[in-house]
């Protein structure tokens, strides 16, 4: 019966490499430090969007609704 | 630069594809994990600033572009003295931090001791061998890829890798079976 195999150079190098690799958490930190967050829409964009939305709602509620008429 | 979601996704792909290799290169050059991480961040910051140029290249060409930046950064850092100091400090206190993969307390302790010996032996390698060894093991690159990244023939890379392994095997009294 033989015991567990003693580590050879490849085993040791593989373990060394794993220990030396950049940890994922550190990689994530670097990535976040480099890439700024994609910016949210500006206040101007929101204001224009709200204006358009309001006007659509106003038109829709003020206009007659022929589509709701009884088809029969 | 105002990033779009597409820019962020493209950059993240490039970062994930090359980060291990570039980090392994810096680790081989400076032998200090903290400084290597700083240099990695600076290298990829330059990628980010030239993203459209880098993204337009193929994978091998991207690697070549990034390693040109990395080599220049390493030279600048070395000239600034930070690398030299960190390398010397690291060589002085070379110690293993590796996990053990061999079962059994006696073998685990022996394995840890062997790792410490390996770490010290790697620190003693000539820099050009240490860089190539780090890129091949921690970076996962082939001899051809290392050669392209460093601007050296693949045969030279294989020779240096072989020399490094022989020196490590001798230091650890192991048989080297490449």
Q: How large is the average pLDDT for residues A3-30?
A: 85
Indicate whether A18 belongs to any domain: yes
Closest-CA residue of B relative to A27 is: B19
* Structural domain boundaries enclosing A31: 9-36
Query: How confident is the model at residue B96, as a pLDDT?
Result: 46
Each residue of B100-141: pLDDT tens digit? 344 455 656 777 888 889 999 999 999 999 999 999 999 999
Q: Which of A16, A19, A34 sits opposite B41 (nearest CB)?
A: A34
Confidence of residue B1 (pLDDT cuts 50, 70, 90): low
Closest-CA residue of A relative to B118 is: A12
Determine, for residues B4 and A10 on separate chains, whether the beta-carbon distance falls below 8 Å: no
Distance in angstroms (rounded) separating the CA atoms of residues B42 and B113: 35
Q: Which of A24-28, A63-67, B167-171 shows the lowest per-residue confidence on average (mean pLDDT)?
A: A63-67
Query: How confident is the model at residue B111, as a pLDDT?
Result: 74
Closest-CA residue of A relative to B111 is: A7
Indicate whether A20 belongs to any domain: yes
Distance in angstroms (rounded) separating the CA atoms of residues B40 and B118: 24
Number of inter-chain CB pairs under 8 A, A vs B: 109
Residues of B in contact with A14 (CB under 8 A): 137
| Closest among B82, B85, B73 to B23, alpha carbons compared | B73
Looking from the CA of B40 toward its CB, the CA atoms found within 13 Å total 32
Instruction: Transcribe B18-44 into DSSP letters.
Output: HHHHHHHHHHHHH--HHHHHHHHHHHH
User: Residue B13: how many CB atoms within 10 A of its CB?
Assistant: 12
Determine, for residues A18 and B99 on separate chains, whether the beta-carbon distance falls below 8 Å: yes
Indicate whether A32 belongs to any domain: yes
DSSP A68: G
Distance in angstroms (rounded) separating the CA atoms of residues B95 and B17: 29
Confidence of residue B40 (pLDDT cuts 50, 70, 90): very high
The pTM score is 0.73
Domains held by chain A: number = 1
Query: How confident is the model at residue A8, as a pLDDT?
Result: 86
Query: How confident is the model at residue A72, as a pLDDT?
Result: 57
**Mutate: best of A15, A33, A39, partner B, most B CBs <10 A:** A15
Each residue of B22-32: pLDDT tens digit? 999 999 998 78
Distance in angstroms (rounded) separating the CA atoms of residues B105 and B127: 34
Determine, for residues B33 and A6 on separate chains, whether the beta-carbon distance falls below 8 Å: no
Query: How confident is the model at residue B78, as a pLDDT?
Result: 80
| Closest among B172, B31, B29 to B92, alpha carbons compared | B31
Determine, for residues A16 and B15 on separate chains, whether the beta-carbon distance falls below 8 Å: no
Q: Residues B100, B112: contact at Cβ < 8 Å?
A: yes
Does the predicted interface ipTM exceed a cut of 0.95? no
Nearest C-alpha of chain A: how many angstroms from B20?
7
């Amino acid at each position: 019966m033989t015991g567990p195999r003693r580590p050879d150079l490849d085993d040791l190098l593989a373990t060394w490499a794993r220990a030396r690799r950049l940890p994922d958490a550190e990689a994530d930190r670097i990535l976040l430090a480099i890439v700024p967050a994609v910016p949210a829409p500006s206040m101007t964009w929101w204001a224009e969007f709200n204006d358009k939305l309001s006007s659509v709602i106003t038109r829709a509620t003020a206009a007659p609704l022929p589509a709701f008429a009884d088809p029969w | 630069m105002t990033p779009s979601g597409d820019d962020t996704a493209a950059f993240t792909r490039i970062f994930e594809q090359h980060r291990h290799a570039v980090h392994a290169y810096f680790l081989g050059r400076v032998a200090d994990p903290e400084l290597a991480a700083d240099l990695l961040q600076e290298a990829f910051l330059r990628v980010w600033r030239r993203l459209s140029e880098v993204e337009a290249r193929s994978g091998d060409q991207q690697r070549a572009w990034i390693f040109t930046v990395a080599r220049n950064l390493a030279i600048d850092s070395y000239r600034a003295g930070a690398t030299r100091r960190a390398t010397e400090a690291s060589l002085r206190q070379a110690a293993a931090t590796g996990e053990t993969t061999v079962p059994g307390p006696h073998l685990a302790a022996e394995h840890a001791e062997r790792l410490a010996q390996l770490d010290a032996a790697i620190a003693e390698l000539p820099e050009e061998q240490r860089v190539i060894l780090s890129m091949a093991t921690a970076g996962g690159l082939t001899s051809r890829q290392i050669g392209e990244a460093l601007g050296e023939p693949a045969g030279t890379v294989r020779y240096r890798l072989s020399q490094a392994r022989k020196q490590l095997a001798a230091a650890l009294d192991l048989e080297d079976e490449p």
